Amino acid sequence: MAEFYSKHFNLERVSEGIYAAIAKDGSGSVGNAGFVDLGDKTLVFDTFNTQQAAQDLRNIAEKITNRPVTWVINSHFHGDHMRGNQVFKDCHIISSQMSLQQMQENHPQRIAEQQDDIDGLKNYIETLSKQNESLNDRQKLTEINFLKELLISLPELELVLPQCTFTNEFTMFGTKRTAKVITLGGGHSPCDSFLYIPEDKIIFMADLLFVGMHPSFFPYSNPVQWTTILDKVSDLPIEKAIPGHGSIGTKEDIGKLKNYIKEMMALAKETSNLEEVSIPEDYKDWTTINIDPRALVIRNLKVLKDL
């Protein structure tokens, strides 16, 4: 593998010609991404949260495959999987039709509001930094570093939407391997898609899979459908699974997340005072992004209780 360093992600060779870009805490990536050498084309899966992280991804993808990026996939509408699109605006960017719709509905206003309040973000970072001078809290420092990367990205950030969409499945045929982009409906978000490489039995699952990390539930999440999707995905021959957050996993990790979702749904239903909840023993070692694990679990349970 070519010598490479990025402050935003660790590059991991999943198989010959298939690479995962695993996000570093407090960087401009936030979520995981990756790229695949199809033989005659180079495909990128997700584009991170910032242009600076996306540029590092494009640079190493083109260096390793020795050709320009052809295809870019956005797995769903969340910013940490598509806000780096502008780095790839000369490529074919594809998502599900539902993902494009969600991007169009959510991102123009959100980006405009953030760009209108850059001074407010600067002041907030300064306040957090001063508060943390004496505390030296690692989690708080991670948040500060993340916000600094967001601040770098905002002045030049532009929303670049997919130019191509699909409804259920889209297949790209290369001279080395095939890439199938599939959506089975919404689970984590209303529009989750994954990338399956059948010849290599490798799957990029985006936020349908978290490995060693607590997933996030939102008011629009569908936990029942999410477990159904995980069941269907588990029927595929899979040797390695790249999550949206966390380290590279296997089919076993898909089963673990399915069990987690079911346990959390039951816990939300049977618990009257969620503030007293402890993290279940099997998940005490799981981590989170920029938030205390117990705080996220309680927030998730409140969401699940209202669904």
The pLDDT value given to residue 1? 55
133 found inside a domain: yes
Strand order through the sheet with 164-166:
9-15, 18-23, 33-37, 42-45, 71-73, 92-96, 164-166
Q: Decide if 51 contacts 159 (C-beta within 8 A).
A: no
Residues 48 and 13 occupy one common structural domain? yes
- Shared domain check, 84 and 98: yes
Mean pLDDT throughout 222-231?
98
Evaluate whether residue 218 is within a structural domain: yes
4: pLDDT strictly greater than 90? no
- Give the three-state DSSP class for 306: helix
pLDDT tens figures, 56-96 = 999 999 999 999 999 999 999 999 999 999 999 999 999 99
Please tell me whether residues 167 and 245 are part of one structural domain. yes
Asked whether residue 219 is assigned to any structural domain, the reply reads yes
Q: How confident is the model at residue 275 (pLDDT cuts 50, 70, 90)?
A: confident
The CATH number linked to 71 is: 3.60.15.10
**Mean predicted confidence (pLDDT) in 237-261:** 98
One domain for residues 39 and 132: no
Whether residue 125 sits in one domain with residue 233? no
- Asked whether residue 295 is domain-assigned, the answer is no
CA angle 32, 20, 299 (to 5 degrees): 25
Please report which confidence band the pLDDT of residue 127 belongs to, taking 50, 70 and 90 as the band edges: very high
Out of 223, 250, 277, a domain closes at 250
Asked which of 36-45, 233-242, 252-261, 269-278 is least confident by mean pLDDT, the reply is 269-278
- Per-residue pLDDT tens digits for 9-18: 999 999 999 9
Report the SS3 class of residue 103.
helix
Where are the alpha helices (H) located in 51-92, listed in sequence order? 51-65
Q: Are residue 138 and residue 237 in the same domain, yes or no?
A: no
| pLDDT band, very low/low/confident/very high, at 166 (cuts 50, 70, 90) | very high
Cβ(152)–Cβ(48) under 8 Å? no
In a domain, 55, yes or no: yes
Domain-ending residue, one of 250, 265, 289:
250
- Same domain for 164 and 199, yes or no, is yes
**Could you tell me if residue 256 is inside a domain?**
no
Range of the domain at 126: 115-156
Alpha-carbon distance 128 to 126, whole Å? 6
From the list 222, 232, 233, 167, the residue with the least C-alpha distance to 189 is: 222
Number of domains composing the chain:
2
- Write the single-letter amino acid at 293: P
Give the model's pLDDT for residue 229: 98
Same domain for 201 and 137?
Answer: no
Same domain, 93 and 181: yes
Domain C-terminal end among 204, 232, 250: 250
pLDDT for 138 equals 87
Q: Do 139 and 165 have their domain in common?
A: no
Q: Are residues 95 and 166 in the same domain?
A: yes
pLDDT band at 2 (very low <50, low <70, confident <90, very high): low
Do 127 and 236 fall into the same domain? Answer: no
- Looking at residue 139, its pLDDT comes to 87
15 three-state secondary structure: strand
E strands present in the chain: 9-15, 18-23, 33-37, 42-45, 71-73, 92-96, 164-166, 169-173, 178-183, 193-197, 202-211, 240-246
Average pLDDT score over the chain = 96
Q: Cα dihedral angle (218, 25, 231, 227), rounded to 10 degrees?
A: -20
